[in-house]
Amino acid sequence: MIRLAIFDCDGTLVDSQHNICTAVEESFAANGLVAPPRNTIRRIVGLSLVEAMRMLLPDAEDALHQRIAQDYKDAFFRLRSTGAMAEEPLYDGIAELLKALSAEGWLLGVATGKSDRGLAHILAHHGIADHFITLQTADRHPSKPHPSMIDTAMRDAGAVAAHTAMIGDTSFDMAMARAAGARAIGVAWGYHPPEELVEAGAHVVVEHVSALARALENP
């Protein structure tokens, strides 16, 4: 039996909120706009960029959404290339968890609103890229909660939905898992509160990384 565990990245594997919020603020400023508060920005983490801008600016035209999304990419690249980017640490226990799951025969994947380049950078920086056999990003899929990322990850792994779990910190992850027929495991250390994860369909929400392996083993 093939068991597949798919992880979100931002807010689940790594704490990247500072850089995301900074890039949103710079992209808004480039267009003469005042960015929303950071607690509002954190709520769109996980969505594809254009969809995120639609949520932040629901009354704006699509051309502006597209322009701010591109300005966000430019700002993020500038932060990284100039060394101004803040550390994006792995959450405590994640590296050990990935190693243990791999040793126990789990196949691992990532489904994220990041770009291919952004995800590759994070995984390489933390030395965890080799754990994952399938990487799904916003470059090749509709935004969460569309199930395309999970569907493709399952095809890559040869897994079926009944033995696949999506692990994430946002309601978008939980809704995506439900849409794909996979198990939805929420984590409480990310950017959406546990009650929203439950409302979006989480089968279980774990408080600490140490509880994730047990949650995966007990459907």
Catalogue the active-site residues: 8, 10
What are the tokens at 150? 């999970």
Q: How far apart are the first and last CA of the chain?
A: 15
At 153, list the tokens.
């990850």
What contacts 106, CB < 8 A, 6 or more positions away? Answer: 3, 4, 5, 216
**Cα dist from 147 to 55, 106, 112, 182, whole Å:** 19, 21, 12, 10
C-alpha angle 62-64-70 in degrees, rounded to nearest 5: 105
Both structure tokens of 50: 């254009």
Distance CA 110, CA 137 (A): 8
Other CB atoms within 10 Å distance of the CB of residue 49: 25
Report the distance separating Cα 63 and Cα 36, nearest Å.
19
